[in-house]
Structure 1
Amino acid sequence: SLFSPAMDTRGPLAPELPQLLHRSPQPCAWTPGARAGEKNVLSSTAAAQALATLIRPCYGPHGRQKLLVTATGETVCTGCATAILRALELEHPAAWLLREASHTQAESRGDGTAFVVLLAGALLEQAELLLRAGLPRAQLRGSYAAATTEVLATLPSLAVRSLGPLEDPFWALYSVMNTHTVTQTDFLTKLVAHACWAIRELDGTFKPERIGVCTLRGATLGDSCLLPGLVVAGKPCGQVTMVLRGARVALFACPFGPASSNAPATARLSSPEELNKFRKGSEQRIEKQVSQLADMGINVVVVWGEIDEKTLLRADRSGIMVIEAKSRREMVYLSEVLGTPLLSYLVPPLVPGKCLRVYGQELGESLAVVFEWDCPSSPALTLILRGATTEGLRGAEQAAYHGIDAYSQLCQDPRLLPGAGATEMALAKILSEKGRKLDGPEGPAFLAFAQALRSLPETLAQNAGLAVAGVMAEMYGAHQAGNFLIGVGEEGIMNVAQEQVWDTLMAKAQGLRVAADVVLQLVTVDEVVVAKKSPTQQQDLNSDSKKAKKCPSLVRKNSFGINK
């Protein structure tokens, strides 16, 4: 049966799936083609379920976190589904397609990665039941497509709230950010809401790139704040600590000074005279490079690399402010914002970055550098996040970016859906009622789609530590009575309108569409074909396996090609 015992307690028992299938004018019977289709969908289901099992404990505001050991040996503690999927090494093509679909959701809407993985896994699991009951793969695909169309057409009718143009966005962003940060969600949401509100244009447009996020270790998350301009973690190194007018910036991802002694190309010197000549030539070359920067009007240099003291003194004499950056990611962001290239040699850029002023800022025990503009299209605010650990800062940073993305979506479409699994239960009720009335393969497919949707609030209840059967039975009864605002709370069912728990319509619709698309693609797969490796590749694999035996990996691989 497509319904769990908790579902059956609230209404008449649903007919068995084979009975529904055989109501069709052309009964479906088992054929070799159907069995072959079942075998391939079973393979896809197993790979998708492996991913879903990994992501399921992280879903929702009560989701848990995982300690990941990446391929480079870095240890990451995170509950973000996007980060977890990115760290996996996948071999099964179905799992690879599902990860690509979830990344599409993350890139386009910023949120809903776990939703896509869990819904796709549940839909493939229900597809397996339909194939076992005798539904041909072609009819299954068509019926799933019809159910997806019905869901997307019904979804806007469930939007019962919208963000007003002059309304505080805090309550609309809280439920989005609450799933990504562990502590002080209220305070962090207020900061993000205030930043979004301040950056929003008078005509209602919103440019998320005008809000920067900077993480600085030290203090606590409660010490986070908003600063004007673009703030990056770094410190001024020389005597010139600020440029208050007409800053012209150059970015370098190389040492600020002579080449390192560990460079690949080194001079071969056979006498002390040659050594002195090499040193003088190197100093003259560095002095010339600094002079070229000053001649081009460069008065701010941001360096991601070692800074030589003698070169720094030459920069001080030329009036150049030298800033030591902390990460390459911030250098790339600066390059995008300033519109100047990130150079690997000490040469003047063809197009220097321009801003109004640059100065250092002390934030507790940490140092940061502020870039300010006087034009409206440049970054206007930066959210400074403080924290004791890198992992805590990473979670707060992800929550902030999700909140900014959610507000950007609400500026395009202000409609909101009931959160906490209420929308999924409402859609499941509508599909179930229509599926019982349909003859042929579409009826069972609608019921299967509804059961897949019910698995999402069930996961929320499970992660919250609730009695899943009881909570699902109460939700089912409330939705059958017409109250589709009932969702899963911390202590049981709750009214999402009273608790102000909402989902953005754009993210939910995109997640449903992406999950359905990848499932329809996997259902049509006829066979998984793996190309035979060439002898040279086989030799390389054998040599790699010998090395792996000498250095055993700490990563365990399961039967579906997913590293854990």
Structure 2
Amino acid sequence: MDTRNPSALELPKLLSQSTRQDTWAPRVREKNVLSSTAAAQTLANVIRPCYGPHGRQKLLVTATGETVCTGYTAAILRVLELEHPAAWLLREAAQTQAESRGDGTAFVVLLAGALLEQAELLLRAGLPRAQLQEAYVAAATEVQATLPSLVIRSLGPLEDPFWALYSVMNTHTLFPTGFLTRLVAQACWATRELDGHFNPERLGVCTLRGATLEDSCLLPGLAVAGKPCGQITVVLRGARIALFACPFGPASPNAPATARLSSPDDLMKFRKISEQLIEEQVSHLAAMNINVVVVWGEIDEKALIQADRFGIMVIQAKSKREVAHLSEVLGTPLLPYLLPPLVPGKCQRVYGQEVGESLAVAFEWDCPNTPALTLILRGPTTEGLRGTEQAAYQGIDAYFQLCQDPRLLPGAGATEMALAKILSEKGSKLDGPGGPAFLAFAQALMSLPEALAENAGLAVTNVMAEMYGAHQAGNFLIGMGTERVIDVAKEQVWDTFRAKSQGLKVVADVVRQLLTVDEVVVAKKIPTPQEDLSSNSKKAKNTHLL
């Protein structure tokens, strides 16, 4: 054995000593400390209180000044202004997990931060960086190989998915999710293909403020929040649709071009020209056989009269996001000007629908691969609707994952504790750097059920000891509950296999990449000519004052 490197028996002793200030010289400590650990830990500390079903909410103030109350990790990561490159890399990895699997975003951030913290301790103890990377890769491979053995249940092809979706959706809303889970399960089941395939695009989500969650319902087709504005309120056959993100009528008063009028005659001419322009714009739409117009903007009364004259149904939408989604589904662009689209959207029927005291507009198709149902969500507040909407999307994504791979793992931190136990047992028997690295990986995994206990307000030391003892006794179905440890099989708390497996792979990749980073080098910013001029003017002003 190479005497220059510590053995597996020496490393635990060095790890215990590395926390004391007088053990290592400052030069050695600086050489071994990871430059990305502090940034990853800071990001993990922001996300940690939001982890799990008892996670807390955060008030986010966006760049536009909008205030959003949410506990959803992906939304928090989007608004954070990060400067450290390691934090950028970790956020990108977490967002990849959210986009590909729809769940496990907080899992990626917390586990990556814990692994980097453990890696720093190993490096301070003297473990070479190259050997640590190899040992972490071996531990991640062992985790992936062990994960299938922890699968406890699978969703049957003809089985009601309610029990499998409940624990996933319960993490993302403050409201009781029993009714919402039942509604999402019903919608997913109804839009499922005969061969078992499920396309999430066939299920839409529309939020309407008002009433309560129990007033939510399902509508056929794709529904958007809005209302028909003219005399034509329904198109029953052969709808040809144009979408606009601008006023339906004259240009906005805040437009850059402003007419200069010097007499009453000029005003009359301007009004006449404006009316002619509106008539021409609407007639061009009618010439392209457009009979439905969806507008995210103001509706001019004279333009609406012209639309009624040409038999065009005009819909005023409330949400630009919903109109953008409608644009994707229809395959027609969202235009900023009142010009006919080159390729109009097509569907079978368009009609208004009253939902309680609110209005929605439904678009129906009679062909596959198009939205078949829309989940109409009701609620008294905008913030509550956002959480409910996010929970619904999480349920839809989870069902899509289960249709791809029906396997389910124990939830509530039970899977992480079981993996930690297996890694600890193997690490205690390994020689060389693999042993301490396996133990460090296990310690990082145990930090996740610990976070669940903290957010639930439990006595962390006591419940973690109870959970650890149960797993040592061979019961890997024990997880972290609301008041104490629980049997996840009895409580029906599950994690999807695909999301967990993908999350572990993402964490392994990003940690391995960050372990190779020696230091952060920031290039000097090159000032623009405008900045040079402003700096020179400031210097001249200061000189003048002197």
Q: What TM-score range do you get, normalising by the shorter chain? A: over 0.9
3-state SS of paired residue (2:36) = helix
2:170·2:176 contact (CA, 8 Å) conserved in 1? no
Indicate whether 1:38 and 2:32 are aligned.
Answer: yes
Partner Cα distance (1:466, 1:32) in 2: 38
Q: Which moved more, 1:165-174 or 1:236-245?
A: 236-245
Match of residue 397 from structure 2: 405
**Can you list the C-alpha shifts for 1:416-447, whole angstroms capped at 9, x where unaligned?**
00000000000000000000110111100000
Question: Which residue, 128, 133, 144 being the options, matches 2:125?
Answer: 133
Q: Counterpart in 2 of 1:110?
A: 102
Amino acid in structure 1 at the alignment position of 2:380: A
Distance 1:265-1:168 versus aligned 2 partners, 3 A rule:
same
Residues 15 and 124 of structure 2 are in contact (CA less than 8 Å); yes or no, is this contact kept in structure 1? no
**CA pair 156-193 structure 1, distance change in 2 beyond 3 A:** same
- 1:505 paired to 2:490: no
**In structure 1, distance between residues paired with 2:198 and 2:452:** 32
Distance 2:369 2:318 in 1: 26
Give the match for residue 3 of structure 2. Answer: none
Q: Which moved more, 1:146-155 or 1:288-297?
A: 288-297
For the residue of structure 1 that corresponds to 2:53, the secondary structure is coil
1:338 is aligned to 330
Confirm or deny: 8 A CA contact 1:34 1:131 kept in the other structure.
no
Question: Which of these residues, 352, 359, 380, is aligned with residue 351 of structure 2?
Answer: 359
User: Tell me, what secondary structure is at the counterpart of 1:319?
Assistant: coil
Q: What amino acid does structure 2 have at the position aligned with 1:405?
A: D
Answering whether residue 337 of structure 2 is matched by residue 348 of structure 1, we say no
- 2:488 is the alignment partner of 1:521: no
| SS in structure 1 at match of 2:470 | helix
Tell me which residue corresponds to 1:293.
Answer: 285
Query: Contact between 2:14 and 2:125, CA under 8 Å: does it hold in 1?
Result: no
- The DSSP-based 3-state class of the residue aligned with 1:73 is coil
Query: Is the contact between residue 34 and residue 135 of structure 1 (CA under 8 Å) also seen in structure 2?
Result: no
SS of 2:417's partner is helix
Amino acid at match of 1:407: Y
TM-score, scaled relative to structure 2: 0.92
Q: Does 1:93 align with 2:90?
A: no
In structure 2, the partner of 1:5 is none
Is 1:177 the counterpart of 2:169? The answer is yes
* SS at 1:212 equivalent: strand
Q: Equivalent residue for 1:260? A: 252
One-letter amino acid of the structure 1 residue matched with residue 251 of structure 2: A
Q: Secondary structure at the match of 1:332?
A: helix
Task: Give the C-alpha shift of residue 265 in structure 1.
Answer: 1.7
Q: Cα distance, 1:36 vs. partner?
A: 5.1
Alignment of 1:523-562 (within 5 A): 523-536=515-528, 539=531
User: Structure 2 residue aligned with 1:207, among 194, 199, 213?
Assistant: 199
Q: Secondary structure at the match of 1:487?
A: strand
Deviation at 1:31, TM superposition (A): 11
Distance 2:529 2:109 in 1: 33
CA distance in 2, matches of 1:272, 1:458: 76
1:332 & 1:273 partners in 2: Cα distance? 42
* Superposition map of 1:73-472 within 5 A: 73-472=65-464
* In structure 1, C-alpha distance between the alignment counterparts of 2:369 and 2:148, rounded to whole Å: 33
Residues 536, 355 of structure 1: alpha-carbon distance in 2 compared, 3 angstrom cutoff: closer
Kept in 2: contact 1:20–1:439 (CA 8 A): no
Distance in 2 (alpha carbons) for counterparts of 1:260 and 1:518: 48
TM-fit CA distance, 1:275: 3.0
State the alpha-carbon separation in 2 of the partners of residues 261 and 481 from structure 1. 74
Decide whether the 8 Å contact of 1:226 with 1:383 is kept in 2. yes
- The 1:184–1:537 alpha-carbon spacing in structure 2 relative to 1, beyond 3 Å, is farther
What are the ranges of 5 or more consecutive residues in structure 1 without an aligned counterpart? 1-13, 23-28, 547-564
Aligned-partner Cα distance in 2 for 1:229–1:276:
46
Correspondence 1:54 to 2:46: yes
Alignment partner of 1:437: what SS? coil
Deviations 1:81-131 (A, max 9, x none): 111111110001111111111000000001111000000010011011101
- Check whether the contact 2:129–2:515 (CA below 8 A) recurs between aligned residues: yes
Cα displacement (A) at 1:269 = 3.4
- Post-superposition, which runs of at least 4 consecutive aligned residues in structure 1 deviate over 6 A? 29-34, 540-543
Superposed displacement of residue 285, structure 1: 1.6
TM-score normalized by the length of structure 1: 0.89
Q: CA deviation at 1:37?
A: 4.6
Structure 2 gap ranges (5+): 1-7, 17-22, 539-546
What's the C-alpha RMSD, in Å, of the aligned pairs? 2.1
Change (3 A) 1:255 1:520: same
8 Å CA contact retained: 1:214, 1:232: yes
Identity of aligned residues (%): 81
**AA in 1 matched with 2:45:** T
Question: 1-side partners of 2:511 and 2:332: how far apart?
Answer: 43
Instruction: Verify the 8 A CA contact 2:49 2:455 in the aligned structure 1.
Output: yes
Paired residue secondary structure (1:314): helix
* C-alpha contact 1:173 1:403 (8 A) present in aligned 2: yes
Whether the 8 Å CA contact 1:48–1:98 is kept in 2: the answer is: yes
